[in-house]
Copies of this chain bind each other. A is one copy, B any other.
């Protein structure tokens, strides 16, 4: 399982693993892929700096990358206090009423100080880039299309390539025109921010649209070697995987409070996700729970635009999290979670991807006329 991408990124297998967990990211890199650490959870860039120090000490010199969330259109800026004033009372009341109906207790005073996610403010995302470029990162990915051109130039001046997500071929072309080096073709089935076109159709469209100007990574629906083979058959240079790493032992090392989330993923089928704007304000695929169902009810308000929706729901996410109830998890996840049947070490998943890939190619060999 080797493509030109491997040489370009200095990795053994064309598997790019996105994860908010530094332990997962390091394990992916050590297993021969490229671990990409999600930065959106770091409201404070100094905290990210410390975690990247840990990465540098724990990846055996293997390449790794970071993922920022920088919307193409600059959203409302401001402190959390400023932004909170823009959230309608109707929405706050709906959240409170829903949590009460779901039996979710309030948090003790000291716990309530945990902030909402500010990582998608340009100011915060730029601080992530500043900090990350002081480390030997091999990729900056933007989870929401092209970052601003000056950010791309900043990365390039450090010799770091930039990847951007695209859910349509026209977006992919725009990214490449902006200087983006890799396109992540994010299919409908993917977790997190995603469009409406499924990978089977989207991937060759994007590959054809960008031609040899940029390698394309296939994102959405990948959790087995067969699926990596399908992605490469469709023209991808590698696979971008996210959801599948959530049910790993290493994830639990970073986030020990994630047992309920992992239980929910193990229990879920591929029908147990929903694409909705309730997490960030933009359409994103989430694990289907009582919380997402409440927002789908006819009496629920329309979600707010980014970044307000996440500021609205972040305190609720904290409260949902503390219930340790798999029915009340709030988590972006793709349809591939239906394949997750237990919590495993990263290396085991990686080994299975590689052997499954070889098996798929052997099967295809037999179809030659």
Contacts and interface: CB of A to CB of B under 8 A. Distances in A.
Contacts of A360: 233-234
A320 B2 CA distance: 52
Interface string A11-49: 000000000000000000000000000000000000000
Nearest to A170: B269
A63 interface: no
Interface in A301-359: 334-336, 338-339
Contacts of A196: 271
A187 interface: yes
A361 to B, nearest CB: 6
A205 interface: yes
12 contacts: A188-B198, A189-B197, A189-B198, A197-B270, A197-B335, A198-B198, A199-B199, A200-B200, A200-B231, A204-B224, A227-B234, A232-B367
Contact of A2 (B226, B229, B368): B368
A265 to B, nearest CB: 14
Q: For chain A, which range describes its interface: under 10, 10 to 19, 20 to 34, or 35 or more residues?
A: 35 or more
Interface in A192-248: 196-202, 204-205, 220-222, 224, 226-227, 229-235
A222 to B, nearest CB: 7
Given A229-B233, A271-B168, A201 B338 contact: yes
Contact of A227 (B200, B222, B335): B200
Interface of A: 1-3, 168-169, 187-189, 196-202, 204-205, 220-222, 224, 226-227, 229-235, 270-271, 334-336, 338-339, 360-361, 363-365, 367-369
Contacts of A226: 204, 233-235
Given A226-B204, A233-B230, A339-B205, A187 B197 contact: no
Given A227-B234, A234-B227, A367 B198 contact: no
Contacts of A229: 230, 233-234, 364
Nearest to A14: B367
A3 B363 CA distance: 10
A271 B196 CA distance: 7
